[in-house]
Amino acid sequence: MATPRIALITGASSGIGLATVARFHADGWQVLATVRKPQDAARLRAQFPGAQVLEVELTDRAAVARVVGDALAQAGGVDLVVNNAGASIIGAAEELSLDDFRAQLDINLLAAIQVTQLALPYMRARGAGRIVQVSSGFGRIALPMFSAYCAAKFALEGFSEALACEVAPLGIAVSIIEPGTVATQFDRNRREASGYRVDGPYAALYRAMRARLATSHERGPSLPEDVAAVIHTAATAHRPALRYTVGKLGLAASLAARFTPDRLRQYAIGRMTRAD
């Protein structure tokens, strides 16, 4: 009987992460999944027999080194890493504190880098492996009120492109997943900038962006399972692509980033987000 392949999936308590755990568990992979809360860990252990659920705060560097590092050592390595965990803070750049920016970089960029670094020695030793980074359409184009989130996702994409070139000769492939709007708790869990004021100079723009996001959800967002299916493709394709888009908005962001002049793109975004 063949030894099952091993997948490490972060941010597995809900949404894209949970759907990805379900997809790979059903496909016979040995799944290592990270969550923050004990109740989520208990739920996943009951739902996915045989999966190893790791309780860890991914912004705690020492805890990640200990918990994830020990799990990889005990498993004898890993075939796939899916860096999915993330969060977002909405607000104008002027009203975002440096702590807000640090929080975005910490979970959306640095956590992914640390987990990747923990996995790479095992992949190098095997001469094979896949790193899949869950980015966003906002990793290619930036929208107002999302400067911190976009900064982290743009950086994740730059890191991943450089990494892909470094590890390709070692038999390791890197792919970036760029979803558009996805029907998850992610948007509902978004918090405001520390300095946001309901009567502040950016309040009208903030309300316009909130309305625009609500409209995009009403127009048929992708499902978490759609993203999980693309992640599975990136993990199993013979020659995986560097980038995969998911949904109409993910594709639109990719095309706009590639083919639309900066001035036209900024004009269109300004029209789209203006407060009437």
Can you list the residues of the chain whose pLDDT is less than 70? 1-2, 184-192, 196, 214-220, 248, 250-257, 259, 267-276
This prediction's pTM: 0.90
- Residue 257, CA distances (Å) to 5, 142, 216, 240, 241 in order: 35, 10, 19, 21, 18
**Domain 6-273 in CATH 3.40.50.720:** yes
What contacts 216, CB < 8 A, 6 or more positions away?
Answer: 180, 181, 249
Assess contact for 109 and 98: CB atoms under 8 A: no
C-alpha R_g of the chain: 19
First to last CA, the chain: 64
Segments making up each domain of the chain, as ranges:
6-273
Residues pairing with 174 in the sheet: 131
In three-state secondary structure terms, 8 is strand
Predicted pLDDT at 209: 80
Residues 18/156/266/93 CA torsion (nearest 10 deg): 90
Q: Measure the CA–CA gap between 38 and 56, rounded to whole angstroms.
A: 9
Which letter does DSSP use for residue 91 in this model? B
Dihedral sign of CA atoms 86, 92, 95, 101 in order: positive
| H helix intervals, 219-261 | 224-236, 247-259
Predicted pLDDT at 263: 79
Active site residues: 135, 149, 153
Q: Measure the CA–CA gap between 8 and 46, rounded to whole angstroms.
A: 18
Residue written as token pair 């050592």: 73
Q: Measure the CA–CA gap between 86 and 81, rounded to whole angstroms.
A: 15
How many beta carbons lie within 10 A of that of residue 89, not counting itself? 23
Nearest to 237 by CA among 148, 192, 182, 174: 174
> Which parts of 96-213 are beta strand (E)?
129-134, 172-179, 191-192
Predicted pLDDT at 207: 82
Predicted pLDDT at 180: 80
Q: Measure the CA–CA gap between 267 and 262, rounded to whole angstroms.
A: 8
Provide, rounded to the nearest whole percent, the portion of the chain with pLDDT above 90. 67
